[in-house]
Amino acid sequence: MALDRAQIRYPEKSPERVLSSLPPAAAPAQQIRIDSESFRFPLAGPVRIALVEGKFRADKDMRESTADDLDWLQSYDPDALVAPLDIALSLADRRQRGLFDLPNLKTAIVVLTSFATTPLADHHRDLLWKAFGVPIFEQLRGWGGTILARECEVHDGLHIEETAAILQLHEEELLVTELATVGEPIIRARTGLTGEIAARLCECGATTPRLRNISKVHSKAARAAA
């Protein structure tokens, strides 16, 4: 894992405590592409899923598409759509202007966000809901593309994928240590974002901590880094 490659000595099972003693690091300058992972849909049951620019490995019942192949997307007419936030918003805009429709899209939209782009805000959710009227699930990626946190059916934060990342708050700012990166380790990387890490049990039954209320940080520390 990343910490081993960086030759950080940490006691078994408590890397978080040792990490806290390290200074925050700058966010990685550029995106590093990892080997593509399988997409994990948040709901059970057979669902026809269109992955638009997701760069996932498409499994059964999933098809991949590019954002400029809307004819294909409309003819596939999936039950669920997976797309980065900017593409999901542009599809919502087209839908509202009557330029585009997916009549079978009745299950969910999974919005992919990343530490390198804008977090999913309430007004984005409203816009997507108005356009498509289906539940929205956010999945947050690290700089390398790995999914680090996923929203569950309870819609009360994103469950942190504990095998993929350690997220910590440092002077209000979220710092990310990625555990599955290839190449340069990403340790305590600054995100420019703030949020809440909720440790209490989620109503969905999962015990992993959840990331809630993610937004841009405006603390002294973030201004100093700008």
- Contact residues: Zn ion, CB under 5 A: 152, 154, 202, 204, 206
Judged by CB, which is closer to Zn ion: 184, or 203?
Answer: 203
Question: In 10 A of CB 220, how many CB atoms?
Answer: 10
Judged by CB, which is closer to Zn ion: 74, or 207?
Answer: 207
Judged by CB, which is closer to Zn ion: 208, or 219?
Answer: 208
Can you read off the two tokens belonging to residue 14? 């408590």
Question: In 10 A of CB 128, how many CB atoms?
Answer: 23
Residue 154 beta carbon to Zn ion: minimum distance, rounded to whole angstroms: 4
Integer Cα distance of 146 and 148 in angstroms? 6
Judged by CB, which is closer to Zn ion: 154, or 182?
Answer: 154
Residue 210 beta carbon to Zn ion: minimum distance, rounded to whole angstroms: 7
Can you read off the two tokens belonging to residue 8? 């950080």
Question: What CA–CA distances, in Å, run from 180 to 55, 97, 193?
Answer: 17, 41, 21
Judged by CB, which is closer to Zn ion: 15, or 157?
Answer: 157
Residue 206 beta carbon to Zn ion: minimum distance, rounded to whole angstroms: 5
Residue 52 beta carbon to Zn ion: minimum distance, rounded to whole angstroms: 25
Judged by CB, which is closer to Zn ion: 44, or 226?
Answer: 44
Integer Cα distance of 56 and 27 in angstroms? 23
Residue tagged 């099972």 (tokens): 13
Residue 202 beta carbon to Zn ion: minimum distance, rounded to whole angstroms: 3
Rg (CA), the chain: 18
Say if residues 58 and 51 touch (Cβ distance below 8 Å): yes
Residue tagged 């599809």 (tokens): 91
Integer Cα distance of 3 and 19 in angstroms? 9
Can you read off the two tokens belonging to residue 54? 């997701």
Residue 103 beta carbon to Zn ion: minimum distance, rounded to whole angstroms: 30
